[in-house]
Structure 1
């Protein structure tokens, strides 16, 4: 150790590492101040100025040492050397603890080893020459001798802290190790090796005696059975009772008892060589094992005699097999097997869930089998506890968590069944339960949407009835009123003509409402036949706009119409699509703000044609544009404008029949209707 300490070297990196181990100078001073502030303040608070002064002096001394250390490398070099010397002291002290064990084995064994790389010999033989060692290391001089080698990868390697050289680093050894029988080198009876050797010889003797005694008793039993007819008769008396048992049950009993007999042989061997320490204490246990094993072997031999006699009769064997338990329960087992296969297939309908179940069951059964190993050897208790901690506890936690998650899903299902929606289930991970929870949330949203749709349907239904009643009653009331006035005699010819004109206008209004309502109902029932033709949509739109030339001239609206340069053809029913354009243009005049612009465009997009109608509404638009497609809905909620309120509903139904789409977009008071239809190229 002293030699190693003299060889200690310190490089600049080690000095810098030790210097900055706790931070730079500023940080270390700050840490010392923080460390001593509390005790100094506590001492001052207790009026103990002497203690405070001691703390201050101690702190200042440490700060001074650190400051001086940062000024000179020698300070920290001394610190590093001190640490390495301390590490050496610990290393040599630890190795010294092995000296007693080393001396014990050094006394017990003779050895001769050679470094296969360098040829250096390691031995405690008096004559270490190779030839002499070879002649000496044999059973003539030794109680025990064996060849032994240590390959390079398993060789001893260690280094002394602070000492640059490594000792015996990765050296391969080859040689022999032995226990001497010479009187000068033989071990004392108190040596642990000799104690074990004597016990082993004792166990060998006991085992040999037991074996010879067992063979003798076995031969004696065979002789007595053969000579004594009484024993044979007594054994044969039990055969009628034995053959009443099903053949498969007899085979199982034979195999089980035979297996038990073999196990007792192994247990006797184990008892002699591993358990016995005192012959007088353990003799009774060995005797008990031998008696029990002998009884099992006797029963095995008797059963073998009975079974062999029955198996020789092949004709009777078929009848015997028909009474077997397996044959009787074969059909039931087949049914159970089919059910098990079906259940197994159901378990793996979702492969992820099936694999999780398989892994959990494998873990549970594996831990059960591991628990059996504890009975064989208590040493396995440590391994079992590790398995329980690494596998058992996580499996239990996962099962409890999964069962809790499943119970929450069941409770949520029960709540949904009674109509209580509540909060969404948490969805975590990608397990089957998480997928089920997600589906339950989707179902819940579906139920909520259905309830909202149902409430909306009821509201729209009420509004529909109200609107239909209002729109039909208004012209009908006018007709009845003016018809009553015509019946009076005081009516002048001028008034009569005015009344007739009003009745005619209201009648046409009523007819228009009824026709529109009938048409919507017919479209909703699917009883509409389309006469499809190749039509130029640009020309059809121009014709629809031409019908409103006079209205455009009288109106304050400014129309901006943009067409494509070439005709755009589509396979449509021209009359019904003209009705769509007519309804949309009519709505423009009825609901557009005065002195505003109206934009109508036709453009192609891939294999679609997009027709858009944009105007600024004079009425405040509803946030829910989808309701404008409902029957008898108007942008004019006061219902002062002319119209049936069925225009957009009819237009959308016609476009849907053409496998197109009609959409509404709003931005503030800007109202836009877009129609998309498929273009015909040939």
Structure 2
């Protein structure tokens, strides 16, 4: 027996190891496929990222040394672009012309009046004033023009300074020595032109131009052609050791680290493949994987899914698998939650695919399994449904005939419209006759069947509403009439069922009489201690102790009676609910706070996890408080000492779920549903002070509010699940 158990454990361990190694191998393959380009040496210097940096460097060199050549010594007007300067000149000339025209028009009327009046001196004075005004306007326009030129020159100065600073900042990343053949100028940030041997010693990467760039991509050829057109000769290189911070070197280091990581992944892939092959051979030799309980249960769940749906599910599962493997940075450091999440997704999916392989292998070896699962497939069942619909041939043919006749009506209308348009009298008469046949014969038949269907539906609705005295009247012909007779028979069965239910309710009400067992104990104690108090030889200390006992027993009796009334009200549905939007998280926190003293006095440790502090639901706050109070109180009373109580509140879709998990202090050797029975306790010896009504009251309150309360028991592990609708 021990040997068999040990072998089973070894097989399970080997299966889990195979699952892990297979998943790691697949993750490695996907990562190598996505990042395989990084395996090439000096890949960074062939990348778009480096080409963008190199192009920026060339643009800055051209801008600073060519476009802005001699820029500091230029006047503001010389610094401006020709088009911009021409635009400013046009604006100045137009403004001057407008002002001159305005002044001339203003003085023209005055000069004309003075001339007509024969005032020569005034005419001369007005002309002098006109000339002075034109000169003043010209000066104002010229000053405005110079100001605009100065402002644009300042902006160009800033642009030049920015580019010059950018080029200087990049001196640690790039070194260059360029001879401009057009201007016979040298552009450089080093003291001399390096030779080929010097470049091999100091350069991490060098680009000499002009060249045909046979060993580089086409984009470097484009740069070389650009240098040829500008008659540039020289070299641009990346030094091995930068003078300061260099983004180029940082990027190159990153690319090298990725390459090193991929080399390690290649070794990991080889190890994972070897381990997977070894484990597969071991599992095949043992031939016990299919006998593992977890594999059998998983295959049983898989077989519940129709075969054709199962095949379709492979597409989204494979898509999720590839996307997760491709997008997740599984091999990056440091290890984060993303790595765990990737394994949480990939391992189940790998197990899912392996289950497909196992199931496919079994169906390949046993053709009967394939036939059985094919017969349960959705396509096969739909074909079976079609056969079943044809089983009642009279209904099938009637529906098919009505459908065909209705299609014929549409065709006859279309033919009639064509006949009217074409003037075909014979076709119009045939279409009219068919329409009359449909209106006289087919349509009344349909209406009669619809009327009978409506009577059947109305009768069924009345029966569903509880009116069991309804009888559906139908002529004893046709399948709808047979359905009406069947519903009438169901009505009789419902009457018997209602009688049985009423009998069950009477039995439930008789349960109230059984509370004597729980009421008798405190009541007997009260009577006994009252008799003791009647004795005359009691000391004050004895009297106080007896009164304390009486107080506890009366409180106990009060709790039992209150719970009894509460249980009766909730069971009868006579509870009035005040539904409003309630913050369930806040309500739960308040309930836990109410029990804080008892929690501290107990040896229990409460672990509370509320995912959000604002979780709203349409509930009765007071009644929901009673639910939380009963459940937390039960956890306090019935949990094993020195254990943990886990409380978890979270949202999932359109539902709010509360779970309370604890280890029971008492052995639960009966079904969980029995705990919802009134006066049922986990402590069957009834040593605790519970009424046995707490869970029944909580379940009734939750269900009255449209929720659901259930219990899950695993040995002594006790879990209460409360679900509310949002």
Give your verdict on TM over 0.5: no
Specify which structure has the bigger relative contact order, considering alpha-carbon pairs within 8 angstroms and separated by 6 or more residues: 2
- Bin for the TM-score computed over the shorter chain: 0.3 to 0.5
Structure number having the greater helix percentage: 2
Structure number with greater Rg is 1
